[in-house]
Structures are given as structure tokens and as C-alpha cells.
Chains A and B, each alone.
Chain A
Amino acid sequence: MTKPLLRVRDLRTYFVSEHGSGVARAVDGVSFDLYPGETLGLVGESGCGKTVTGLSLLRLISEPPGHIRPGSVVEFEGRNLLALPEAELRAIRGNRIAMVFQEPATALNPVLTVGDQIGEVAVVHQGLGHRAARAVATEMLRLVGVPDPEERVDHYPHQLSGGMRQRVMLAMALVCRPQILIADEPTTALDVTIQAQILELLDRLQTELGMAVILITHDLGIVAGHADRVVVMYAGQVVETAGTEELFRRPLHPYTEGLLASVPRLDTTRDRLTGIPGQVPAATAWPGGCRFHPRCAYAWERCVADDPPLANEGERHDARCWLLAEPRRRVARP
């Protein structure tokens, strides 16, 4: 097996509330590996810690109120990014590891032209002058399929459509040909047809540039179509990780099962969509024992009392559930 490009171990990002209502453990012991060239889907409901995980990888959490606990490791090329001095980390951000944000409408600066914003990355990391940066910006716009790049380079974000803006965001992220791209819900704000175009573009660029992608999303459809492996998060923890096909064929964790069951399907007729009862609890008060037990159809005493470990079950397939130890319990409560 190849060496992982990025090794995340026991990542914990906590937020201290100013009103003294406690500590929100938004990310609470997340570990996973990212291999060169692969697309890793990071899925889960809103509030389960996906976005905070993505931001923590590049230490983009604003402190206070947030802080990454000592002991967390994000290893990239033999160095722990979380322990790096700010200046060295800055040389990695946008250069070796880049990020695309969810809302292209707000993630672009309204008073700068898109050419300025794309070119800025080249100015920061490659020390280019204004003219050269502009040429890079034009070239990047062409790469991400923006028509008339020579003209668009002088446009302001409000003159572009949502899909075009997301292409601009991608262009900004890809200027330095990063090895890792963290895409945080890159298509959530877009309508379905544009969504498909952007994801196709992402796939094409990934192949062309040979980078690894962490695709953060709540949409299992996107994961099925675009990810090689999947990390399922719940309540700040990884509950299951597996290859995409394996996960869809043989989900081990009841939460994954629930997520898959809640996807509308064309090949079966159902009157109602199945959901997972309840909602993600507040990050200040995760339930004791298994964090999913209040919503789990199989839960028994052990789930309330003890937190299950992330156990290996088959090749590169892990799940955090007591059912792996006691498979005969896989019978729904009446």
C-alpha cells in the first residue's frame, strides 16, 4: 500500500463559549488517512463537525473561541501542520494544500476583480508581479472553463453567476497546483445542473493535476459518484470509513445505514422517505457511551454505558459500533 499523503490522528477542535455554557467539542478525536490522487468523501449531517475538520487541517479556526487540542496531529510530508510556525503554515496554505469554500457568493471579495483575487495567490506564493499574475489569472480562468477569460478577468464577483463564481474559487485554489484540495460543500449553493458541471470539472482537474481531494458534503449522491473512499462523521467522531463501493454495499454502522436509507431511490417505490429519528445533539453535550445511541434502533445497555472503539472489519473498512462485537444484536427494538 502507498504511503498516505496526509495523516490525521486524534484531531480535536473545541470551542469555548463566551457565555460559559461549556465547551463545544465540535471535532473530537478524528483520524483518517488521505492517499495521493484519491478523492475522500467526508459525509455527515449538519453539525457533525465536517467543516470544522476541514478548517482545522489548515489551522484556519479562529482563536478564540476555537482551539485545536494539543496531541492532535495533521501530518503532511513528515511535518505536523498543527505544530508549524504560522509563517511556514502560510507557505503551505493555498500552495500545497488549498481550500474551496461553500458559498462562492461570500467567499469572494466584492471590491476586487476576479483577476486580482486569482492573481493574488501567484503573488503570495510565487512572487509574481502584477502583469504576470494577471496572465496567470487569465490562464486559470481558461483552465476552469470560464468563457472569454481575457474579459472576465476584469469582472467583479457580482457580475458573475453562481456557477462562474465557484469556477473562480476553483481557479484560485488551483493556481499553485496543490497536492491536496479541500472542497467544503463546493456545490451546495448551486442548482443541480451547475452542480454536475462543477463536479465534472473537479474530476477532470483532479486527473489532470494529479491531486488528492477531500470532498466535504452531506450529499451521498455526490459521494457515490465522485469519491473513492468515504469517511462518515457523527457528533465530532468518525463512525465509519470504507471504500465507496464497499460502504454502499455493506454499511456497518447504523448511522451509515440510516443515511443510505434516507436517500430517495428510483428503483423502489416508497410512499415516504425514511429518515433517522431525532437530530444531531448539541456539541456542548454529546451523549455518553456511543454518541449515536439515542437515535439508534439497535441500542442496548452497552451502547449507553461504553463508547465503542473504531474497529477494523475487513480491508480498510472501520466502524465505531458495538454491533461489530455482538453481531447477533442487529435486531431492531420493538
Chain B
Amino acid sequence: MAAATVRWIQHRARQAPRGRRFFRHPLAALALGVLIFFSVIALAAPLVAPYLATHQRDIVLLQNQPPSWLHPLGTDLYSHDVWSRIVYGARVSLAIGALAAVMAVLAGTAVGAVSGYFRRWVDAGLMRLVDVGLALPRILLVLVVVALFGRLSVVGLVLLIGGTGWFATSRLVRAEVLGLRERAFVDAAHALGAGPGRVIARHLLPNVAATVIISTTLGIGHVMLLEAGLSFLGVGVAPPTPSWGNMIADGAPQLVAAPWSALAPGAAIAIVVMALNAVGDALRDALDPRQEIP
């Protein structure tokens, strides 16, 4: 199904130069297919997963079962079906990734645009804040928060990761806005009576859309890795709610006895992050205005 969707998108996209440039990237079609596949199974989890994520089949007899027809990816120490947990874990991991990345990019874009447009003390103030944000290691920051407030809910995790992830984006957007604001069309917009808000929203932001979209795509991958890392350390998503990160953490101790229980979520993370990076690269090629033939 994912393959069919990709083929349909590909067919439509080839009609525009941007679409053709997107699919010129060797892995774009495959990566897009991977993302569509995981999104679909996450959305349709109850239909795709044979068991509930927290359903323990038989805690005595069905521990660490190898893959079989009944359990395509085997079972883990707690006799959960690994495939079902991958499917439900996709919901959690992808949702955290997407929400936190979107939140970070929105915040970063707003700060970057305001900073680049107004310059002077606004810029100086906001950029010092960004410097501080960039100087602090995120993992450490999250560990401190957890130490202070205890285990975070999924929403809390999204807010925390999103709230600490916008610094780099704001730098990117600010740099672009600094260049754009010197362009004649900004003067022209002012001359026609547009105020700062309108100039930023209508004239500057559409011109940084490419940067923002690429930044979001790559950001989702970063956030997913971060969430996996945090869950692995035991401060991310709390079990029994499955996330790919805490599945690795659960599976790691019996890596020899039942390698599938840690390798399956590990492979899922690796594949999705690589797919996101490939799509980000392809988008960069597709949306770069310098490749536009006038």
C-alpha cells in the first residue's frame, strides 16, 4: 500500500520541476515509502497489531519466544508481542518526534524572524538567549528537569524537547531574514503601507519556507533519537506505554537470549531516522530556489 501511494505521489510530482528534483534523489522514493508505511501502521495500530501493546500473552510459557508465524518479531521478557509493541510504539515515538519538532521549528521561526527583522537590541537579546540554549547539552538539561520534577508525561516530554530544540532553527531563519530584509521587495512592501507584522508574515516567512520545511524534517529524526536515548536511560516515556526507546531499554539485558526484542525497535528507529534524513535532503534539492529555472 505504501508502495502504491509513493507511486501515485511520484506520478503527480513528476509534472512539476520541483517534484522531479525531489525524486532525483536516489533514496527519496524509498524513504518516502518507509515514512508512509510507519505512519499508516501507527494510525491503524488496532487493525495492524494482533495484540494490545500491554497484553502479556503468558508470562510463564511465552517469554523471549523467537519469531514465529504467531509472533512475527518474537516476544520479549514480559511475553509482549514485539510486533504489536513496535506498532503501538510507532504512535508514541512518531507523535513525540513530529509534535516536538513542529513546536521547536515554530518557536525557532518566530524568534528568528523577529530577531532578523528588528535587529538592534531585540536581536542582541534573543540571540544571547539562543547562545545560552545552544551551549547547554540537551540530555543534561532533560536529566536535570527529571531530577527536579520526577518522571515526565508524554505531553511534558514533548514540551521539554520542543522547548529546548528551537535554538538552531532560529539561527537559520534569522540569517535568512537578515538577507531578505535588505531586498527591494521589503522596501516596496513598506512603501505600500505594510507594517512589521505583515511584512514578516506575508513577505519574509514565505521566502524561508524551504528552510523551515527541511528543518522540520531533519528535526523529527533528531527528536526521535533524543526520545530513544532518554527512554533508554529510563527518563523518557514510562513503561508499560511502549516507545521504541524504552523497548530497546527493556530488550537490552537479554540481547543474547532474545536479540529480537532490542534489535527490532533499534532497526525501526534507524530506518525511520535515515528515511527522514533522505527526505530532508531530497526536499533541500527540490526547494532550493537557486535551482529554479526562471
Contacts and interface: CB of A to CB of B under 8 A. Distances in A.
A177 B206 CA distance: 28
B203 A109 contact: yes
Contacts of B195: 87, 90
B14 interface: no
Interface stretch (A76-84, A93-101, A233-241): A93-101
B7 interface: no
Interface in A25-46: none
Contacts of B294: 158
Interface string B195-220: 10010001100110100000000000
Contact of A124 (B184, B187, B192, B209): B192
A92 B191 contact: no
Contacts of A95: 193
A17 to B, nearest CB: 17
Contact of A106 (B184, B193, B203, B206): B184
Interface in B246-294: 289, 292, 294
B185 A107 contact: yes
A101 B193 contact: no
B130 to A, nearest CB: 23
Interface residues on B, range: 20 to 34
B290 to A, nearest CB: 12
Contacts of B24: none
Contacts of A172: 188, 192
B49 interface: no
Interface in B113-164: none
Contacts of B192: 93-94, 98-99, 120-121, 124, 172-173
B12 interface: no
B198 to A, nearest CB: 7
A109 B292 CA distance: 15
A99 B183 CA distance: 16
B190 interface: yes
Contacts of B191: 58, 60, 93-94, 98-99, 101
Nearest to A125: B193
Contact of B187 (A87, A94, A101, A121): A101
Contacts of A55: 187
Given A106-B185, A158-B294, A111 B206 contact: yes
Interface string A162-174: 0000000100110
Given A91-B193, A94-B191, A172-B192, A107 B209 contact: no
Interface in B61-95: none
A185 to B, nearest CB: 12
A112 B192 CA distance: 15
B194 interface: yes
B180 to A, nearest CB: 10
Interface in A111-163: 111-112, 120-121, 124-125, 158
Most A-side CB within 10 Å, residue of B188, B189, B194, B195 = B188
A296 to B, nearest CB: 35
B179 to A, nearest CB: 13
B111 to A, nearest CB: 21
Contact of B194 (A92, A103, A120): A120
A120 B189 CA distance: 9
Nearest to A112: B206
A124 B199 CA distance: 11
B253 to A, nearest CB: 53
A91 B194 CA distance: 9
Contact of A101 (B184, B202, B206, B207): B184
- Give the interface centre of A58, A94, A111 by most chain B CB atoms within 10 Å: A111
Given A106-B183, A111-B206, A101 B190 contact: no
A178 to B, nearest CB: 10
A203 B207 CA distance: 35
B52 to A, nearest CB: 47
B188 A101 contact: yes
A107 B193 contact: no
A264 interface: no
A227 interface: no
A120 B184 contact: no
Given A91-B193, A110-B289, A120 B202 contact: yes
Nearest to B293: A158
Contacts of A111: 206-207, 209
Contacts of A110: 185, 207, 289
Listed from nearest, the 6 A-B pairs whose CB atoms lie closest are A94-B192, A94-B193, A106-B184, A93-B193, A99-B191, A107-B184
17 contacts: A60-B187, A90-B193, A91-B193, A94-B191, A95-B193, A98-B191, A101-B187, A101-B191, A103-B184, A110-B185, A110-B207, A120-B198, A121-B193, A125-B193, A158-B292, A158-B294, A172-B192
Given A107-B188, A125-B193, 11 more contacts: A58-B191, A60-B187, A93-B190, A94-B192, A101-B188, A111-B206, A111-B207, A112-B202, A120-B192, A121-B192, A124-B192
